[in-house]
Structure 1
Amino acid sequence: MTIEIKAPTFPESVADGTVATWHKQPGEAVARDELIVDIETDKVVLEVVAPADGVIESIAKNEGDTVLSGEIIGVFAEGAAGSAPAPAAQAAPAPEVAVAAAGADDIIMSPAAKKLVEENNLDVAKIATTGKGGRLTKEDVINHLDAGKSTAAPAPAKAPVQASSPAGLMPMIEVPGQGRPEKRVPMTRLRASIARRLVEAQQTAAMLTTFNEVNMKPVMELRKQYKDQFEKRHNGIRLGFMSFFVKAAVEALKRFPAVNASIDGNDMVYHGYQDVGVAVSSDRGLVVPVLRDVDSMGLADIEGTIGDFGRKARDGKLGIEDMAGGTFTISNGGVFGSLMSTPILNPPQTAILGMHKIQERPMAVNGQVEILPMMYLALSYDHRMIDGKEAVQFLVTIKELIEDPARILLDV
């Protein structure tokens, strides 16, 4: 029995998607619920799994093709393992092809693998194959490139020359006659969406940034004193600095409602709840999953949820529901060594807090010079909604709460 493979049903905010990766090719056996194709949207990567045991019979949409919600992207043959026609005989738009390698038997390659081989002038005889029946898969070629064991196949004198590139990226190609390597890679849908939103924020908001600095010594001492007990009490969840800043931000948002608001046309929307987005870096770009109703969350809940978001982001498992909404955002560039920056608003929110690197500096305390672990804080805000006085007082409130963490518990 044949089953149509369809793109997932996209949310209303997502118009279409792009076929990112076919993990299985025509003729390959697939187990029930095994991942067969990734569909990339502006926000997340959606996975399509096999509906039953069987084989991929044909592919209607190749990698890079645009697909609509529920559109047919291929055909699946249920229970047809071992009886599917040879890939070369199928009517797929891009059938697998056999390429003869010097000194090696014919090697069956998937279309994606063939493209990488041709782009990088690789000798397929030197690439280890892991696909069914000795097929060469896209992952085999990428692993070969990452390991740095690939050697360029003999090519005409004017053929592009492979140049070195960072690990994990396709090698750059030296342009004939120029002698300088470069490569051209299309933006992913997520990266294009990020770019569009950032430009929109700068063009539509009256964005300003105010700065302050915070003494991290009290929080660091509190963390040092209780981190082992905290981790033991909360099943391995580690006590970090982010949870303190999230709780401090929630208290400050309550005191300054304009910072916890958004602009909708000519209306100002004040939110009676605090949903804090936490910027997370991933291989695909910056994503902002949202902590819901943070006022009701404890430090362990915050740290545990942020940890889950980080793992999901690395694995490409974040869902649209994880990133929808949000009334305020916190970005921590300090984990990458940033000393100071001006974060960009996350529309339609009216403010974003930027955390930075903790660095020891000489500070004047009661007429004496002390070496203290200091962090610069930055608050970018939309001046259409927030006055400078409110922005400064909001940032000062966070500074006071972090420098005296007891204030968070006592609500003072």
Structure 2
Amino acid sequence: MSTEVRVPTLGESVTEATVATWFKKPGDAVAVDEMLCELETDKVTVEVPATAAGTMGEIVAAEGETVGVDALLATIEEGKGAASAPSEAPKTAEAAPAASSESVDVMVPTLGESVTEATVSTWFKKVGDTVAQDEMLCELETDKVSVEVPAPAAGVLTEILAEEGSTVDASAKLAVLGGSGASAAAPAAEEAPAPSAGAGKSVEDAPSAKKLMAENNLDAGSVKGTGRDGRIMKEDVQKALSAVTTAPTPAAAPRAASPAEDASREERVKMTRLRQTIARRLKDSQNTAAMLTTYNEVDMTEVMALRNEYKDLFLKKHGVKLGFMSFFTKACCHALKEVPEVNAEIDGTDIVYKNFVHMGIAAGTPTGLVVPVIRDADSMSFADIEKAIAEKGARARDGKLSMAEMQGGSFTISNGGVYGSLMSSPILNPPQSGILGMHKIQDRPMAINGEVVIRPMMYLALSYDHRIVDGKGAVTFLVRVKEALEDPRRLLMDL
């Protein structure tokens, strides 16, 4: 009897994933909940645990393949893999001498449905190199995904038939492994880690990460791996690259340049899966919703005074700093109770009203914008909100957010002011019907009681879906947020 291993639920709007790494191979013993493989989506990395104990059977989806939700990944055969080891041991012993005298062809792996050809993007080994079984030899690129090609056996790479940049069909031979180095490969593996895995590491880094490090002359030792057992993922390299600062180059004298010369100084980089998803979802938002933005401004004098008065005591008691985001979150929760359509969504011909506020807090990360969700923010205290924002923000920057933490938001707050934005029109986060944009606090002359005084002012922008929210409701919502912030006592009295 066998147990099927299928792709788990990937999260809202995520319909496919790429098989990044298999931690087990056919015949290996598997325990319940032991990690079998790792999937990469355009948002997060998902680990797939074993649902039953037994022996690893057939691997249906190889590394590099794109799979949909609930797709079959592999099978687990009933019975303990350890029990089969003794009977297989003699075969392994007999096979070793054969490997020393036979050559092994390296073929193009399964590329996936409707994919008939691929381009050889990178060779990680050169002719004459000794390789271990399952060590990555090269990477292929198709019009859908990147496919990693592992060594089918230990040996020496004797011939490369498809050079980098060449296009190969689905049944092509890529290279030849000579078995004469197989016996030498084993001691080498025992004496030192595989060259491509980085000093002091026995875990194979993601080939896409190794390729990116090679292209940017980045040493693996300077990158912190967040994958399983410290495996370096592509996102880790991107994070390390974003932290590298370069000295400004002296300004060059203006000169006439031809288009060809300009092209030689350009750099073309493929969009990450996360960036592609961000682009698609934002454009879908514009195409679907009847989006409109209304503006107002708020005098931050009272909030700033209240914060300055209690920030030290707040930090001492709750262990977290008192920021402005908790005030805005509280103000929005109060306003959403009065104007519930801003907290609702359209589902077909129905309007779904939410009797809760799951507040999305937009956060910028090295790899793109993500929106972690603080659930039931309307029932949380100032301290609880500040703790949640700090924790979610840190996890977002480290790329540790789970799919569940980015799902189910009913309203979103985006603070462009931290980057210096004075005014902007935020884009809706579908299927939500409202998003509040915060901006920079700037001292401006204001007319107060017939006198001109300097006040710390902030522009507020509410983008809303006009299909469900009327102009009156949107303006009322923004006015209620303004009133609560200009007189924070209203938040205490639920006014």
- The bucket for the TM-score relative to the shorter chain is 0.7 to 0.9
* Kept after mapping to 2: 8 A contact 1:36/1:48: yes
Correspondence for 2:392: 309
Q: Are residues 101 and 411 of structure 1, via their aligned partners in 2, closer, same or farther at CA, if it must alter by over 3 Å?
A: same
> Cα offset for 1:228?
2.0
Map residues 91-240 of structure 1 onto 2, 5 A cutoff.
99-100=125-126, 106=130, 110-111=136-137, 129-130=198-199, 138=207, 139=209, 142-143=212-213, 168=241, 178-188=263-273, 190-234=274-318, 236-240=319-323
Q: How far apart, in 2, do the equivalents of 1:218 and 1:346 lie?
A: 30
> Cα offset for 1:144?
5.5
* Kept after mapping to 2: 8 A contact 1:130/1:140: no
Task: Summarize deviations over 1:166-209 as a string: whole Å, max 9, x none.
Answer: 9728xxxx999952433241441x44443333223222322211
Task: Summarize deviations over 1:317-361 as a string: whole Å, max 9, x none.
Answer: 333332332322111112222221111122222211111122222
Q: How far apart, in 2, do the equivalents of 1:219 and 1:352 lie?
A: 21
Correspondence for 2:453: 370
Correspondence for 1:158: none
Percent identity, aligned pairs only?
Answer: 44
> Cα offset for 1:302?
1.0
Q: Which has the higher contact order (CA 8 A, sep 6+)?
A: 1
Correspondence for 1:48: 48
**TM-score for both structures, normalised by structure 1:** 0.73
* Aligned-partner SS, 1:281: strand
Q: How far apart, in 2, do the equivalents of 1:242 and 1:71 lie?
A: 44
Correspondence for 1:155: none
Q: Counterpart amino acid of 2:379?
A: S
Q: Are residues 26 and 339 of structure 1, via their aligned partners in 2, closer, same or farther at CA, if it must alter by over 3 Å?
A: farther
Correspondence for 2:250: none
**Structure 1: runs of 5+ lacking an equivalent:** 121-125, 151-164
Task: Summarize deviations over 1:216-261 as a string: whole Å, max 9, x none.
Answer: 2222222222222212211x22211111101000111111222222
Q: How far apart, in 2, do the equivalents of 1:136 and 1:372 lie?
A: 54
Q: Are residues 134 and 403 of structure 1, via their aligned partners in 2, closer, same or farther at CA, if it must alter by over 3 Å?
A: closer
**TM-score for both structures, normalised by structure 2:** 0.62
Q: How far apart, in 2, do the equivalents of 1:175 and 1:66 lie?
A: 40
> Cα offset for 1:299?
0.8
**Structure 2: runs of 5+ lacking an equivalent:** 111-121, 147-162, 166-194, 221-237, 243-258
Q: CA RMSD in A?
A: 4.7
Are 2:345 and 1:262 equivalent residues in the alignment?
Answer: yes
Q: How far apart, in 2, do the equivalents of 1:90 and 1:7 lie?
A: 30
Are 2:62 and 1:61 equivalent residues in the alignment?
Answer: yes
Instruction: Give the count of matched residue pairs.
Output: 381
Correspondence for 1:279: 362
> Cα offset for 1:382?
1.8
Are 2:78 and 1:9 equivalent residues in the alignment?
Answer: no
